[in-house]
Amino acid sequence: MRITRISVYQVDLPLHEGSYKWSGGKSVDVFDSTVVRIETDAGVAGHGEVCPLGPFYLPSYAAGARTGIAELAPDLIGEDPTHIRKLVRRMDALLQGHPYVKSAIDIACWDILGQVSGVPVCVLLGGRYADDFVLYRAISQETPEQMAAKVAGYRSEGYRRFQLKVGGDADVDIARIHAVAAELQDGDRLVADANTGWLMHDAMRVVKAVRDLDVYIEQPCATYDECLSVRRNTNHPFVLDESIDGVSVLMKGFSDGAMDVVNIKISKFGGLTKAAQARDLCASLGIAMTIEDSWGGDITTAAISHLAHSTPTELLFTSTDFNSYVTTSIADGAPQRNNGRLAASTEPGLGVAPRFDVLGEPVAVYQ
Ligand code: MG
């Protein structure tokens, strides 16, 4: 099988809440997402999506995804999309770094391999665990009272895991964590995600002030070493996200005892191939995971669902259903949240059919 055409689509994804706010005053109103369609000489087509969390979260930005694909795609015409690890090595040889650029292409190849194999991608990634898996809800940064009210509202929709966006003024963040913790019920889990927003002294004040609360601390500071310093001075369960962007730092984190949970975002690692490699390594090492992506719509949510659903249940701390955050549906067949949980499609491949009436004409075609 050979790749005959790669088409790229751009789509805007507005938010039900109007905006999404996190550390350092960062905010996005409309997400700029990129969908890739890979066609083959066998008549099978696969799809992938990549959507950075604005240009200031990871070293990635929406137009950069499309520019990077323009760099790669002409050289991928004629490659076999079902030889995925070989194709990933080819992409790495063509373009140093820029993992997010490769993510949608990699996902589309898994979609093709699943379709030609007649099985869902989660089966290719190791097998389906249980009927469904648990989601968290991200609570955009607002006042302590507004965030506590959001948690109560989202719990009534079935969510039981909540990730507070903190990483602002330490005193306000302490109030945010206390206000939300007061709303929690038995079985709820609370994560305070600073998204690199605190200096070490801020982080130490916060963890001391919430010492008696049952709360996970996620990525308090900008660098791995700063986070490790905080980690060594607190007894809260500890999550690393932004600092863990590949296997070598993951191994270092394990050997340093730097975290209890790792956040694996598909595009941060460069696609399902490398995210699954990190997932399998974490599973072997006993490190629990949040499995998700930076952002996205229906196709990203489908890709997440296959990686999450093929992760051993006890090792999957939580996952995300971005398609319920955004107002625009870009594909039929994507998984839909039910009582705070999600399940991967049982159809071959990703199980999604893009809505080309929504995506419009491609912004670029390579053939
Ligand atoms: Mg995070």
| Digit-coded pLDDT (tens) for 269-287 | 999 999 999 999 999 999 9
Cα-to-centroid distance, 354 and ligand 1 (Å): 28
Q: What is the pLDDT of residue 67?
A: 98
Whether residues 59 and 143 share a domain: the answer is: no
| Digit-coded pLDDT (tens) for 182-200 | 999 999 999 999 999 999 9
Q: What is the pLDDT of residue 277?
A: 98
Q: What is the 3-state secondary structure (H, E, C) of 108-125?
A: HHHHHHHHHHCCEHHHHC
* Rounded CA separation 154/205 (Å): 29
Cα-to-centroid distance, 290 and ligand 1 (Å): 9
Q: What is the mean pLDDT of residues 255-274?
A: 98
Count of residues making up the chain: 367
Whether residues 211 and 341 share a domain: the answer is: yes
Q: What is the pLDDT of residue 98?
A: 98
Cα-to-centroid distance, 73 and ligand 1 (Å): 30
Tell which residue, 146, 133, 211, has the closest CA to residue 179.
Answer: 146
Q: What is the mean pLDDT of residues 45-61?
A: 97
Q: CB 367: neighbour CB atoms within 10 A?
A: 11
Whether residues 235 and 319 share a domain: the answer is: yes
| Digit-coded pLDDT (tens) for 337-348 | 999 999 999 999
Cα-to-centroid distance, 190 and ligand 1 (Å): 13
Place of tokens 């975002």: 265
pLDDT band of residue 19 (cuts 50, 70, 90) is very high
Cα-to-centroid distance, 138 and ligand 1 (Å): 9
Q: What is the pLDDT of residue 144?
A: 98
pLDDT band of residue 218 (cuts 50, 70, 90) is very high
| Digit-coded pLDDT (tens) for 131-166 | 999 999 999 999 999 999 999 999 999 999 999 999
Whether residues 289 and 185 share a domain: the answer is: yes
Whether residues 221 and 279 share a domain: the answer is: yes
Whether residues 13 and 62 share a domain: the answer is: yes
Q: Which residues pair with 20 in a beta bridge?
A: 28
| Digit-coded pLDDT (tens) for 68-117 | 999 999 999 999 999 999 999 999 999 999 999 999 999 999 999 999 99
Whether residues 181 and 315 share a domain: the answer is: yes
Cα-to-centroid distance, 263 and ligand 1 (Å): 7
For a pLDDT cut of 70, what percent of the chain falls above it? 100
Q: What is the mean pLDDT of residues 33-58?
A: 97
Residues labelled as active-site residues: 165, 265
Cα-to-centroid distance, 288 and ligand 1 (Å): 14
What's the number of domains the chain is made of?
Answer: 2
pLDDT band of residue 353 (cuts 50, 70, 90) is very high
Q: What is the pLDDT of residue 172?
A: 98
The overall average pLDDT reported for the chain is: 97
Whether residues 265 and 197 share a domain: the answer is: yes
CATH no. for residue 53?
3.30.390.10
Whether residues 96 and 127 share a domain: the answer is: no
pLDDT band of residue 356 (cuts 50, 70, 90) is very high
Whether residues 142 and 103 share a domain: the answer is: no
Residue numbers of the domain that contains 294 = 123-353
* Rounded CA separation 289/364 (Å): 35
| Digit-coded pLDDT (tens) for 231-248 | 999 999 999 999 999 999
Cα-to-centroid distance, 219 and ligand 1 (Å): 7
* Rounded CA separation 292/104 (Å): 14
Whether residues 143 and 86 share a domain: the answer is: no
Q: What is the pLDDT of residue 224?
A: 98
Q: What is the pLDDT of residue 238?
A: 98
Q: What is the mean pLDDT of residues 170-193?
A: 97
Q: CA 18 → CA 21, 77, 156, distances in Å?
A: 10, 39, 20
Q: How far is CA 196 from the centre of its chain?
A: 17
Whether residues 85 and 147 share a domain: the answer is: no
Q: What is the pLDDT of residue 162?
A: 98
CATH no. for residue 257?
3.20.20.120
Q: What is the pLDDT of residue 312?
A: 98
